[in-house]
Chain A
Amino acid sequence: MDALAIHRLHFAFTVTFHYLFPQLTMGLAFLIVVLKTVALRTGDPHYDQAARFWGRVLAINFAMGVVTGIPMEFQFGTNWARFSRAAGGVIGQTLAMEGVFSFFLESSFLGAFLFGEKRLGPKAHWVSALLVFVGSWLSGFFIIATNAWMQYPSGYRVGPNGEIVLTSLWHLLVNQWLFWQYLHNMIGSVVTASFVMASIGAYYLLARSHEAYGRTFARTGVIAGVASCCLMLFPTGDQQGKNIAFLQPPTLAAMEGLFQTQTGAPLAILGQPDMDRQRLDNPLVVPNALSFLTYRRWKAEVKGLDDFSRDWWPDNIPLLYYCYHIMVGLGTIFIAVLLVAAFLLWRGRLYLSRPMLWVLMLALPFPYIATTAGWMTAELGRQPWLIYGLFRTVEGTSARVSPGNGLFTLIGFMGIYGLLAVLFLFLVHREIEHGPEA
């Protein structure tokens, strides 16, 4: 493998593993605030006990997010030195802001939330839960701001030595790409947390243990899940798609497997990109749908890959196409499943419907897969650029770090993260078995 492939794999592996944890932390922090609010307003200790249980899961999950997050901050410099040197004056701003504004907040109040319930009293404890939520969502904001700038750079100029110089902090922190990407990502974290909560609730109901909590978890998860899943599709997903259509048109063509420019472009539901023949094999399509979704006109022209020069094509079109279709496909299935579950809940039959509970319980891994596929769509879709249209990925690596050294540390991370995964599953499994009354 050449150096570029190893550095890309290094970042991809560590960031993919890392983001398994923050997505639950951010979504769960929100749901814990919901539980704490219900507890405060009704005075029902049941909801405090439920919040304590999810606080214990959050603690384990948060620790995993912290220890796997530190390497991300370092890797910009270790593996992507030329990119950092060129763009550090811009993206260093948002990364430093994350440390200063959110990490300090989170780390201070997570301790207060986990260990300080007795000392703080109910109101101050609710505030500490809220601040953990605010800290984690701020953290998400600064990371998405960094990524959004790489997807859609604005508020900069290029200096004489090729360095990229910030000219407007405002544009870095407020732009149309960032707005929709942030909402899409954060609501996605609520989807993950909702499914996790509903899944554990369904498990308790099916196993006939801790059933009172099982009902609370299933109900909370299904309600939050159905709302967040719908918001993922519309407006956030829709607007995110429009951003790509207008600001990264070759990416849209590659995601959709649209090789030729056409009026009334079809939306591919299934099919495999055939790069040799420049077409989709075994296609199952909805005629004119892509034109309508993008431009709200059935006969609008959508540009295909043939309209763009090859050096603007994403470098792994089949993988990009599959990731995008996995994300959208799962998102659609989530909405269908949760609408049925919400209907059963409304009719008062959810807790008795064993088939539905089985589906909810087994759904646990799928939001993680959808989120990962979504991020792979964003990152593969940006290729062959690190900063879209401005700085190519191949120019960003650390020139002096050899492929051998890169492979050495990649293997090291794989070993350590394998160990972390086993530990995480083991400890969370114990918490679930002990149950909320522990």
Chain B
Amino acid sequence: MPTIWFCLVAVMIAVYVVLDGFDLGAGILHLSVARTDDERRAVLASIGPVWDGNQVWLLAGGGTLYFAFPALYASGFSGFYLPLMIVLWLLILRGISIEFRNHIRGGVWEPFWDAVFCGASALLAIFFGAALGNVVRGVPLDASGYFFLPLWTDFSADREAGILDWYTVLIGIASLLTLAEHGALWLALKTGGAVEVRARRMAARLWWGVLAAVIVITAASFAVQPHLAVSFRERPWGCIFPLLAIAGLILMRFRNARPAFLGSCVHIIGMLTSVVFGLYPYVLPSNSNPALSLTVQNAAAAPYGLRIGLIWFAPGIALAIGYFVFTYRSFAGKTPA
């Protein structure tokens, strides 16, 4: 039963990254692919009706994590205290920059919120990547199952590391590149005119960056977390996840924006599921004493809660998917300028 919930939480987080990923990516590229006010309005219009719903996947995923794995939620959220608070501030600034930008015309109002939108989106992409990097690298869990990390120490990826070290920063940069590419392909799909042209050019260039990042972080991850290699050796069927990521990467080269964007979605899902598969059964490995690691089993809630949870979760999430299909179909095709 805990493994089912582990998969469900992983899927929710993957859906979050794929969906909110393209509006974060659009934010990262906002200043460079859209130059005039009209172009920037087009970028915002392409994500306007959906970004808030996309972000709900983070909240719903977090809530699900909370009740299914309370020990992981408690340990992870208090241990990553500082970066999470910074993420919250960035989410606040980004949210109001999208919602409030178009309330006033002319002068200094819009350029200010454009810059906030772009900066907050880029920093969020880096922080989310770094967070994933921390989970892969492991954290210094104590005997009671808690830890606390400063933002940075000496940037070595050993036991004294902070949130940011060479490895997690690398993952952060890879995340920035991946989401920027994802956003570029979304804009190529949803916008027209100069924005579409620039987005296509950007996507073609960024692809090489994504490719380089994938190679580098794959090598680095296997070096930093030896358990990854163990997982793939013991359960070779898991190789379908990295293969999925590679297939996505190839699809992204399509001229047609639809399969290319789909490829990016597949790529992101492939990368995330590879990591999750490689770490299993760990959910938060300890880098000081492996016996103290949090696993799917020792972090899970009691069986009754998990069983009853499945009963309301299934129809609830089916409804949510229904709303999403409705919303995305209502706003299908190129966004009218």
Determine, out of B214-222, B256-264, B315-323, the stretch whose residues face the partner at the interface: B315-323
Cα distance A399–B309 in the bound complex, in angstroms: 29
- A272 interface hit (Cβ, 8 Å): no
Cα distance A87–B324 in the bound complex, in angstroms: 32
- A105 interface hit (Cβ, 8 Å): yes
- Nearest A residue (CB) for B63: A96
The reply to whether B56 and A97 form a contact with Cβ atoms under 8 Å apart is no
Give the contacts of A189-203 with B (CB-CB under 8 A).
none
Distance of A24 from chain B, by nearest CB (Å) = 16
Per-residue CB contact flags for chain A residues 77-92 toward chain B (1 = under 8 Å, else 0) read 1110110111111111
A-B complex: 10 closest residue pairs judged by Cβ atoms: A88-B70, A77-B77, A92-B67, A99-B60, A96-B63, A92-B66, A89-B301, A81-B78, A398-B78, A85-B74
The reply to whether B52 and A96 form a contact with Cβ atoms under 8 Å apart is no
A and B contact pairs by CB, cutoff 8 A, 5 listed: A84-B73, A88-B301, A96-B60, A108-B323, A166-B308
Per-residue CB contact flags for chain B residues 294-327 toward chain A (1 = under 8 Å, else 0) read 0000000110110011001100110110011011
The reply to whether B302 and A89 form a contact with Cβ atoms under 8 Å apart is yes
A104's partner among B71, B85, B96, B319 (CB-CB below 8 A) is: B319
Give the contacts of B188-210 with A (CB-CB under 8 A).
none
- Nearest A residue (CB) for B75: A81
Which of A76, A85, A95, A169 neighbours the largest number of chain B CB atoms within 10 Å of its CB?
A: A85
Cα distance A59–B103 in the bound complex, in angstroms: 11
Determine, out of A39-47, A67-75, A285-293, A363-371, the stretch whose residues face the partner at the interface: A67-75
The reply to whether B308 and A400 form a contact with Cβ atoms under 8 Å apart is no
- A93 interface hit (Cβ, 8 Å): yes
Interface SS majority for chain B = helix
The reply to whether A100 and B308 form a contact with Cβ atoms under 8 Å apart is no
Give chain A residues whose Cβ lies under 8 Å from the Cβ of B68: 92
Contacts A59-B99, A96-B64, A104-B53 known; A77 to B316 CB distance under 8 Å? no
Cα distance A402–B79 in the bound complex, in angstroms: 11
Give the contacts of A396-414 with B (CB-CB under 8 A).
398-402, 405, 408-409, 412-413
- A63 interface hit (Cβ, 8 Å): yes
- Nearest B residue (CB) for A100: B316
- Nearest B residue (CB) for A431: B103
The reply to whether B53 and A108 form a contact with Cβ atoms under 8 Å apart is yes
A100's partner among B63, B85, B147 (CB-CB below 8 A) is: B63
Distance of B219 from chain A, by nearest CB (Å) = 33
Give chain A residues whose Cβ lies under 8 Å from the Cβ of B313: 96, 100
The reply to whether B319 and A97 form a contact with Cβ atoms under 8 Å apart is no
Distance of B27 from chain A, by nearest CB (Å) = 15
Distance of A334 from chain B, by nearest CB (Å) = 32
The reply to whether A84 and B74 form a contact with Cβ atoms under 8 Å apart is yes
Distance of B147 from chain A, by nearest CB (Å) = 7
- A375 interface hit (Cβ, 8 Å): no
Cα distance A79–B146 in the bound complex, in angstroms: 13
Give the contacts of A370-418 with B (CB-CB under 8 A).
398-402, 405, 408-409, 412-413, 416
Cα distance A95–B55 in the bound complex, in angstroms: 16
- Nearest A residue (CB) for B149: A400
Distance of B163 from chain A, by nearest CB (Å) = 13
Distance of A386 from chain B, by nearest CB (Å) = 13
The reply to whether A101 and B316 form a contact with Cβ atoms under 8 Å apart is yes
- Nearest B residue (CB) for A56: B103
Per-residue CB contact flags for chain A residues 275-313 toward chain B (1 = under 8 Å, else 0) read 000000000000000000000000000000000000000
Give the contacts of B34-82 with A (CB-CB under 8 A).
48-50, 52-53, 55-56, 59-64, 66-68, 70-71, 73-79, 81-82
A63's partner among B61, B99, B147 (CB-CB below 8 A) is: B99
Contacts A66-B52, A112-B330, A165-B305 known; A430 to B103 CB distance under 8 Å? yes
Which of A59, A66, A100 neighbours the largest number of chain B CB atoms within 10 Å of its CB?
A: A100
The reply to whether B67 and A85 form a contact with Cβ atoms under 8 Å apart is no
- B100 interface hit (Cβ, 8 Å): yes
Give chain B residues whose Cβ lies under 8 Å from the Cβ of A63: 95-96, 99-100
Cα distance A361–B84 in the bound complex, in angstroms: 41
The reply to whether B81 and A405 form a contact with Cβ atoms under 8 Å apart is yes
Give chain B residues whose Cβ lies under 8 Å from the Cβ of A99: 56, 59-64
Cα distance A119–B332 in the bound complex, in angstroms: 14
Cα distance A157–B203 in the bound complex, in angstroms: 55
Give chain B residues whose Cβ lies under 8 Å from the Cβ of A97: 63, 312, 316
Contacts A63-B99, A73-B63, A74-B62 known; A84 to B81 CB distance under 8 Å? no
B95's partner among A66, A86, A398 (CB-CB below 8 A) is: A66
Contacts A85-B75, A401-B81 known; A93 to B95 CB distance under 8 Å? no
Distance of A87 from chain B, by nearest CB (Å) = 8
Cα distance A105–B316 in the bound complex, in angstroms: 10
Given A60-B99, A76-B77, 17 new contacts (CB under 8 A): A68-B92, A77-B66, A77-B76, A78-B77, A81-B74, A81-B75, A89-B302, A92-B301, A95-B66, A100-B63, A104-B53, A108-B323, A108-B324, A112-B327, A112-B330, A167-B304, A401-B81
- Nearest B residue (CB) for A71: B88
Cα distance A67–B68 in the bound complex, in angstroms: 25
Give chain A residues whose Cβ lies under 8 Å from the Cβ of B144: 399
Give chain A residues whose Cβ lies under 8 Å from the Cβ of B64: 92, 96, 99-100
Cα distance A77–B71 in the bound complex, in angstroms: 10
- A107 interface hit (Cβ, 8 Å): yes
Cα distance A82–B104 in the bound complex, in angstroms: 45
- A348 interface hit (Cβ, 8 Å): no
The reply to whether A95 and B327 form a contact with Cβ atoms under 8 Å apart is no
The reply to whether A401 and B78 form a contact with Cβ atoms under 8 Å apart is yes
Contacts A101-B316, A401-B148 known; A78 to B85 CB distance under 8 Å? yes
The reply to whether B78 and A77 form a contact with Cβ atoms under 8 Å apart is yes
- Nearest A residue (CB) for B87: A74
- A103 interface hit (Cβ, 8 Å): yes
Give chain A residues whose Cβ lies under 8 Å from the Cβ of B324: 104, 108
- A247 interface hit (Cβ, 8 Å): no
Give chain A residues whose Cβ lies under 8 Å from the Cβ of B96: 63-64, 67, 420, 423
The reply to whether B70 and A92 form a contact with Cβ atoms under 8 Å apart is yes
- Nearest B residue (CB) for A169: B308
Give chain B residues whose Cβ lies under 8 Å from the Cβ of A420: 92, 96
- Nearest A residue (CB) for B326: A108
The reply to whether A98 and B63 form a contact with Cβ atoms under 8 Å apart is yes
Give chain B residues whose Cβ lies under 8 Å from the Cβ of A115: 48-49
Contacts A63-B99, A165-B305, A405-B81 known; A95 to B67 CB distance under 8 Å? yes
The reply to whether B89 and A416 form a contact with Cβ atoms under 8 Å apart is yes
- B91 interface hit (Cβ, 8 Å): yes
Cα distance A397–B53 in the bound complex, in angstroms: 31
Give chain B residues whose Cβ lies under 8 Å from the Cβ of A105: 319, 323
B305's partner among A81, A89, A95, A401 (CB-CB below 8 A) is: A89
Per-residue CB contact flags for chain B residues 134-174 toward chain A (1 = under 8 Å, else 0) read 00000000101111100000000000000000000000000
